[in-house]
Amino acid sequence: MSNLPDVDELTTDVLVVGGGPAATWAAISAAETGSQVTLVDKGFCGTSGATAAGGNNLWLIPRGPRREESVRESEVAAGGLTDSEWMFRVLATSWDRIELLAQWGYPFPSAPDGQPLRSSLQGPEYMRRMRRKAHRSGVRILDHHPALELSTDAEGVVNGARGIARQDDGRPWQISAGAVVLATGGTAFLSGTFGTNVDTGDGLLMAAELGASLSGMEFSGAYALAPEWGVHTKGRMLQWASFYDEHGRPLATELGLGGRQDAQRVLTQGRRVFARLDRAPLAMRQTMRDAQPNYFLPLDKAGIDPFTTAYPIRMIHEGSVRGTGGLRLIGPDCATTVPGLFAAGDAATRELITGAVSGGGSRNGSWAIASGTFAGRGAAEFSRGRARGAEHRGVATGLGLGPGRAGAPTVEDVVRATQSHVLPPLRSFLKTADRLAESAAALDTLWRDVSEGLAPVPRRDSYKPRQAIAMIAAARWTTAASLARTESRGLHRREDLPHRDHRYDHRILVGGLDEVWTAADPVLPRLVSSESAA
Ligand SMILES: Cc1cc2nc3c(=O)[nH]c(=O)nc-3n(C[C@H](O)[C@H](O)[C@H](O)COP(=O)(O)OP(=O)(O)OC[C@H]3O[C@@H](n4cnc5c(N)ncnc54)[C@H](O)[C@@H]3O)c2cc1C
């Protein structure tokens, strides 16, 4: 018999939940202020999450007039829902922080004129350095420690979290903190996209249980293209693709990156599409292979030379990992609507800098750096002078937290049922009021079906019911926000309402668990150019 207590209890100034770029920037930034910091990751910090598995191109622009030009261009592309002040702050902070990453030894390549090229990061290399820097900054890193719920004091101010240690047979832990940063990533609904197996929306659920609101969830239907048998979705290679139907006839698609969306429209109709990278200049082909070896691996294994042979492609849902929605922020320090709780990276809405369109090509990577920095500093400031170890109230009604119930739906049942309303392109890429209403009703029923718990799981897997519940919650918020936006804009494509409607030149808030609500955000977008709103 062990005489260890039933729960591992720890105390810290700032608790960071997550282990990707947003979490590590938050942890390092909080530690820079002298705070004691603890980071808990569901996986292994440095290899978990979407960035570690792939990499990030960044929105990185030196000081000077080009920044304002970029903000103006982005506002138009983003459907007029952005906030220029946030955009300038993100550009300034990510530029400065990348300079630090260079000082920490990241091997940035140089252009022929000797200028460093810093706008692209290799995921494993980047995240290895982030982990090492966090460690050297004194951050206590607890790997394989998924958080399951947040705790509050008697006034409802967040004062820690609870979770389990997966590699210690699911032993429970409780951490008391002066403030908490949620950096748990986006929600990709276990679609199989490379690196997103941990991105199940846990942070959104934990925050919503305390009343947090979300924003931009209707822009969470991002899809990527991969070879039919592959999961690696670095779709930039496809800017050099020609697309064909299954009879080898060329499809009329836009040249460059826009061709991907045309191909997705054809796939959404249930037709097969083939790609061939025959537009890539000969001189560039080896560079493409060197830049993204993972993209070519499944093709090489299948004996396909993608520059000469057309290969079939499929759409894979990437949800809010390359989409936009997440927790609403109410301050420049990335404070959420719950006191003591801050959010960073894909767990927070990125509408402020990317509006209605995908942030996946560069904005999200810069956002993870900047919002991590703001949230880490904000949480450190908030925690200063706050008492630790006071009362810890959990979420009394937190679904999936209690012991399982024989005969209840299994985790697999719930995940499959939720996915059936999210992953098919006719649910999230192209929407109609009828299909959305059908999904909303089915997901409400599913929510009620799990209200008394899921089927039992071994203690070390007790994070899985929470993942399943988080996925239903995220699907319900996305569906509700998509019904509320009765127009098409950016990633939100309504087949029944194909045009933009200026009555929706505002962000849409959503929240609630048993009863899901939506509302217009009273804080209006801030634009530097009037044409963005046109
Ligand atoms: C294939 C692909 C390519 C991309 N390329 C680009 C690009 O070129 N440019 C760009 O800007 N963006 C890109 N993106 C998006 C970008 O990767 C994400 O925006 C970025 O990873 C967000 O960082 P994050 O730290 O918020 O989340 P993630 O990197 O996803 O990390 C989330 C972390 O939270 C942890 N976690 C989750 N739940 C819990 C829990 N309950 N308890 C504890 N920890 C938890 C996970 O283990 C993980 O460590 C790409 C995405 C994909 C999928």
For 32-55, what is each residue's pLDDT tens digit?
999 999 999 999 999 999 999 888
CA of 406 to the centre of ligand 1 (A): 35
Give the tens place of pLDDT for each residue, 299-310: 999 999 999 999
Residue 2 lies in a domain: no
Distance CA 422, CA 429 (A): 9
Same domain, 196 and 331: yes
Same domain, 310 and 365: no
pTM of the model: 0.96
Distance CA 232, CA 225 (A): 8
Structure tokens at 247: 């009879």
Buried b / exposed e over 465-484, threshold 16 CB at 10 Å, is bbbbbbbbbbbbbbbbbbbb
CA of 355 to the centre of ligand 1 (A): 19
Same domain, 235 and 246: yes
Same domain, 205 and 136: yes
Give the tens place of pLDDT for each residue, 4-18: 458 899 999 999 999
CA of 449 to the centre of ligand 1 (A): 30
Between the alpha carbon of residue 17 and those of residues 23, 136, 251, 337, 461, the distances in Å are 7, 19, 45, 17, 18
CA of 460 to the centre of ligand 1 (A): 23
Structure tokens at 335: 């404070």
Which domain, by its residues, includes 331?
A: 8-215+320-383
In this structure, the residues whose C-beta lies within 6 A of any atom of ligand 1 are 17-23, 40-43, 48-51, 54, 56-57, 146-147, 183-185, 193-196, 198-199, 202, 233-234, 318, 321-322, 345-347, 360-365, 368
Residue 391 lies in a domain: no
- Find the CATH number of the domain harbouring 474: 1.20.58.100
Same domain, 109 and 197: yes
Same domain, 328 and 305: no
Residue 187 lies in a domain: yes
Same domain, 187 and 58: yes
The residues, any chain, with a CB within 8 Å of residue 203's CB and separated by 6 or more, are 17, 18, 182, 183, 184, 185, 327, 343, 347
121 pLDDT above the threshold of 80: yes
- Find the CATH number of the domain harbouring 307: 3.90.700
Phi then psi for residue 484, to 5 deg, are -70, -30
Q: Sorting pLDDT into bands at 50, 70 and 90, what band is 173? A: very high
Give the tens place of pLDDT for each residue, 439-480: 999 999 999 999 989 999 999 999 999 999 999 999 999 999
Ligand 1 atom 19: the closest Cα is on which residue?
A: 364
Same domain, 203 and 328: yes
CA of 427 to the centre of ligand 1 (A): 23
Q: Is 427 in contact with 479 (CB distance < 8 Å)?
A: no
Give the chain's length. 534
Residue 395 lies in a domain: no
Residue 405 lies in a domain: no
- Find the CATH number of the domain harbouring 87: 3.50.50.60
Same domain, 325 and 292: no
Q: Is 179 in contact with 478 (CB distance < 8 Å)?
A: no
Q: Sorting pLDDT into bands at 50, 70 and 90, what band is 3? A: very low
CA of 388 to the centre of ligand 1 (A): 30
Same domain, 439 and 483: yes
Residue 392 lies in a domain: no
How is the beta sheet containing 222-227 ordered, strand by strand? 222-227, 311-318, 273-276, 242-244
Same domain, 135 and 185: yes
Pocket test residue of 189, 321, 324 for ligand 1, highest count of atoms within 8 A of CB: 321
Number of domains in the chain: 3
Q: What's the whole-number mean pLDDT along residues 430-444? A: 98
